[in-house]
Amino acid sequence: MNQKKKSENKSKTYTLFDNENGLSYELPLINGTVGPDVLDISNLYKDSGLFTYDPGFTSTASCNSKITYIDGEKGILRHRGYDIKELCENSNFMEVCYLLLHGDLPSSEDYKKFTNLISKHTMINEQLRNLYGGFRRNAHPMAIMVGVVGALSAFYHDSTDINDPNQRMIASHRLIAKMPTIGAMAYKYSIGQPYIYPKNDLSYSENFLHMMFAVPSEKFIVNKTLSNALDKFFILHADHEQNASTSTVRLAGSSNANPFACIAAGIASLWGPAHGGANEAVINMLTEINSKDRISEYILKSKDKDDPFRLMGFGHRVYKNYDPRASVMKNTAHEVLNELGIKNDPLLDIALELEKIALNDEYFIEKKLYPNVDFYSGIILKAINFPTNMFTVLFAIGRTSGWISQWKEMIEDPVQKIGRPRQLYIGNEYRKYKPQEKREKISIFKKLWFK
């Protein structure tokens, strides 16, 4: 919808007619800057006694936002108006964090100030180390992330008052700064190696590689190609409009819960294989396919309605065209493999062949299923030697900048109120209480559990 057309729509309303009762309800149209306009239904229930119904929110805008714009048909992703490909080519993750939080790219002075602020918050309270000890060594690192990030609110009380702008900013900086430290410690804990402290003379991505792969007994030189690839990975995962985990953070935050608890809720939601857990699931799927000859078998499986198997890394709620992040990720995968001298990565070969077959398959074409951000990211992370179960931790590290920016925007939104969706009730109508002796003899347990 172009600008001119939008101005024509100013104060346009849609009318809902109830012909049976000769009633009608006005639904005002609200224009966005770009992209779909919205129908304001906030008074519909009060006026009509009707709810709208949209499981999965396929046609529902939950908020207004200035942070990220996605056009799923054209494969467009912009942060504060800047295109994702231009940011990947010209910017870095710290700049993008600033952009998401503050609304524009930083001046060189503000950039220095911001990166210095973040570097001052990279350590975590030493007491938190004991929390790791409570986990089994083979605990999934995402379980540790949910626990430790949620526990930050027990250590950083001085930045939990969500009504204090200064505390909101400190909490935002703390979360962006501490996520790599917490994630790297989860990895070190799992392999029984000593934790490596952050080093403030390294960049954000260099620091993370250092905390992950350095050992106290040896000098560690950060490979710049790998840290640059990681920085791009974080940019590509920084924010993505109102996805499941971001909506979780917003909903948690709408009750005025503290920011650490809200981000822990976002981490929990991201972990699902239908969402951020897909990068780990892609590698597991490619490993299971194991050879190009078996690709068609798996494509068939993914189309079988009775089979829960989905082609991981394919499809997207919004992108009905190629996910712009996937193409950047694919090029970065080739850069990393070349840098590491990995001539033929069997998983990459299977991924490329799988993509080629799927993109020419009627079913995938008809359902507009393209590779998403997760399809190639695992190839990069595996090549850099991250264990598969750390992939979603890296997604969470990158996405924390988006989550906390969306949380901040929500808290600062004057119309913000606690999120409380309604439902379509399809359960029993009123039934009088029955004493046990008068109840049916059939046992639900027998049917479901105790055969």
Q: Is 121 a catalytic residue?
A: no
**Residues with Cβ < 8 Å from 77, sequence gap 6 or more?**
68, 69, 70, 83, 84, 240, 324, 325
Which of 210, 316, 323, 361 is an active site residue?
316
Using the contact rule CB under 6 A, the part of the chain among 252-260, 326-334, 344-352, 371-379 near ligand SDX is 371-379
Name the maximum alpha-carbon separation found in the chain. 81
Q: Alpha-carbon distance 105 to 96, whole Å?
A: 7
Does residue 317 belong to the site contacting ligand SDX (CB under 6 A)? yes
Does residue 315 belong to the site contacting ligand SDX (CB under 6 A)? yes
One of 1, 23, 215, 274 touching ligand SDX (CB under 6 A): 274
Distances (CA, A) of 124 to 153, 182, 204, 426: 12, 8, 15, 48
Q: Where are the alpha helices (DSSP H) in 292-341?
A: 295-303, 324-339
Closest by CA position to 82, among listed 96, 63, 97, 102: 96
Does residue 295 belong to the site contacting ligand SDX (CB under 6 A)? no
Query: How many Å from the N-terminal Cα to the C-terminal Cα in the chain?
Result: 59
Binders of ligand SDX in range 185-244 (CB under 6 A):
240, 243
Which amino acid is present at 54?
D
Using the contact rule CB under 6 A, the part of the chain among 2-10, 218-226, 273-281, 337-345 near ligand SDX is 273-281
Nearest-5° angle of CA 99, CA 232, CA 336? Answer: 170
Does residue 247 belong to the site contacting ligand SDX (CB under 6 A)? no
Q: Give the nearest distance from C-beta 302 to ligand SDX in angstroms.
A: 4
Q: Give the nearest distance from C-beta 57 to ligand SDX in angstroms.
A: 10
Long-range (24+ apart) CB contacts under 8 A made by 132-138 are 132/185, 132/186, 132/189, 135/189, 137/189, 137/190, 137/192, 138/190
Using the contact rule CB under 6 A, the part of the chain among 24-32, 100-108, 150-158, 307-315 near ligand SDX is 307-315
Instruction: Show the tokens assigned to 294.
Output: 């078996």
Strands in 76-79's sheet, in edge-to-edge order, are 68-71, 76-79, 82-83
One of 145, 182, 285, 373 touching ligand SDX (CB under 6 A): 373
Q: Give the nearest distance from C-beta 100 to ligand SDX in angstroms.
A: 13
Does residue 316 belong to the site contacting ligand SDX (CB under 6 A)? yes
Query: Looking at beta carbons, which residue is closest to ligand SDX?
Result: 315
DSSP notation for 141-190: HHHHHHHHHHHGGGT-GGG--TT-HHHHHHHHHHHHHHHHHHHHHHHHHH
Q: What are phi and psi of 323, to 5 degrees?
A: -65, 115
What are the beta bridge partners of residue 194? Answer: none
One of 184, 211, 311, 351 touching ligand SDX (CB under 6 A): 311
Q: What is the size of the binding site for ligand SDX (CB under 6 A)?
A: 22
SS3 label, residue 291: coil
Using the contact rule CB under 6 A, the part of the chain among 46-54, 82-90, 310-318, 386-394 near ligand SDX is 310-318
Does residue 74 belong to the site contacting ligand SDX (CB under 6 A)? no
94: how many CB neighbours lie within 10 A of its CB? 22
Q: Give the nearest distance from C-beta 349 to ligand SDX in angstroms.
A: 20
Does residue 310 belong to the site contacting ligand SDX (CB under 6 A)? yes
Q: Where does residue 431 fall: left (phi above 0), alpha (psi -120 to 50 degrees), or beta otherwise?
A: beta
Which amino acid is present at 273?
P
Nearer to ligand SDX, 311 or 379 (CB): 311
Does residue 275 belong to the site contacting ligand SDX (CB under 6 A)? yes
- What character string, x for contact with ligand SDX (CB under 6 A) and - otherwise, covers 8-47? ----------------------------------------
Does residue 267 belong to the site contacting ligand SDX (CB under 6 A)? no
Q: Is 316 a catalytic residue?
A: yes
Does residue 301 belong to the site contacting ligand SDX (CB under 6 A)? no
Does residue 372 belong to the site contacting ligand SDX (CB under 6 A)? yes
Q: Where does residue 57 fall: left (phi above 0), alpha (psi -120 to 50 degrees), or beta otherwise?
A: left
Does residue 369 belong to the site contacting ligand SDX (CB under 6 A)? yes
Nearer to ligand SDX, 132 or 395 (CB): 395
One of 149, 252, 312, 350 touching ligand SDX (CB under 6 A): 312
Instruction: Show the tokens assigned to 5.
Output: 């057309």
Nearer to ligand SDX, 258 or 377 (CB): 377
Using the contact rule CB under 6 A, the part of the chain among 79-87, 158-166, 225-233, 272-280 near ligand SDX is 272-280
Nearer to ligand SDX, 106 or 277 (CB): 277
Element (H, E) at 140: none
Binding site for ligand SDX (CB under 6 A): 56, 240, 243, 274-276, 278, 302, 310-318, 367, 369, 372-374
Q: Active-site residues: which are they?
A: 316, 374
